[in-house]
Amino acid sequence: MPLIAFAVSIGMLSGVAGYQHAPPDLEGWREIAWPFARDGWPAGRAFRCSSQACGEQIEIYLRPKIGFCNCDSGVADDDEVDRVADLDLISERFVPVEPGHPIQLADMRGRIRAYELTMGDRSRRVAVGVVVSRRCDLLVAVAQGNGTASGVQRLALEFLGSGDVSRWMLAAMSGQ
């Protein structure tokens, strides 16, 4: 009996792993390797949509950040988005375009805010940071592109709201 239980648990783990790496159900998007060096949080998932498919090339990076001390206040303000939305992985130099606003993703509440980034070669890009929370944990996403902030935001929200991505976010926040 223990042998069977063990084999079943291994099978379940494989199933979870397979599910977690399934491609998103949105046409034009494909998963790419996590493009950043290791930092304090485990690597997440990265996706790209080409300009042919999305009208402009856009990349989005998302990952859970499990374990914060401020468990009750959630994503309280725009400063929280500035601090945790992984913008600094793309560039340490970013300026908000406007105040952020509340958002709900996969039944988690948080905030979204648009930024202008200055890259190492001084070129400019736009980015949108999204942070939602559940209890003491965060799910963060940052999307970047060359177009307008509103365009990046629209594409990012469309992607994040898709069924596969929502399911993955919920699974990731549940320790799967």
Partner 1 sequence: MRHRALLIAATSVVFLSCCAGAEAQQQVIGAPPEAFNMRLVGSNDLQARSAYQPTIHHQGDRWIAYIGHHGGTDAVPAPLNPITGKAEPNGTSILDVTDPAHPQYLRHIPGQEGKYEGGGAQMVRVCDGKALPKGDRNAVYMLRTFGSEAHEIWNVAEPANPVLITRLGGLKDTHKSWWECDTGIGFLVSGAPEWRTRRMTQVYDLSDPAHPLKIRDFGLSGQEPGATGAVPTELHGPISAGPEANRVYFGYGTNKGGILQIVDRDKLINGPKEPTPDNLRLPEISRLNLSAFNGAHTTFPLRGMPIAEFARDKDGNSRDIVMIVDEAILNECNEPRQMVWFADVSVESRPMMISSYTVAEASGSFCERGGRFGAHSSNESMAPVYYKKMAFIAFFNAGVRALDIRDPYHPTEVGYFIPSITAATDKRCVTIDGKDRCKVAIQTNNVETDERGYVYIVDRANTGLHILELTGAARGVAGLR
Q: Interface residues with partner 1 (CB under 8 A)?
A: 2-3, 6-7, 38-41, 66-73, 79, 82-83, 87-88, 92-96, 174-176
Question: Closest separation between CB of residue 27 and partner 1, Å?
Answer: 30
Question: Closest separation between CB of residue 66 and partner 1, Å?
Answer: 7
* Distance of alpha carbon 79 from the chain centroid: 18
* Residue 49 buriedness (CB in 10 A; 0-12 / 13-18 / 19+): buried
Of 83 and 101, nearer to partner 1 (C-beta) is: 83
Q: How far apart are CA 169 and CA 90, in angstroms?
A: 21
Of 96 and 147, nearer to partner 1 (C-beta) is: 96
Sign of CA dihedral 93, 131, 136, 168: negative
Of 56 and 116, nearer to partner 1 (C-beta) is: 116
Q: Are 165 and 29 in contact (CB under 8 A)?
A: no
> Which two three-digit tokens encode residue 152?
């990046």
Question: Closest separation between CB of residue 45 and partner 1, Å?
Answer: 19
Question: Closest separation between CB of residue 135 and partner 1, Å?
Answer: 9
Of 66 and 103, nearer to partner 1 (C-beta) is: 66
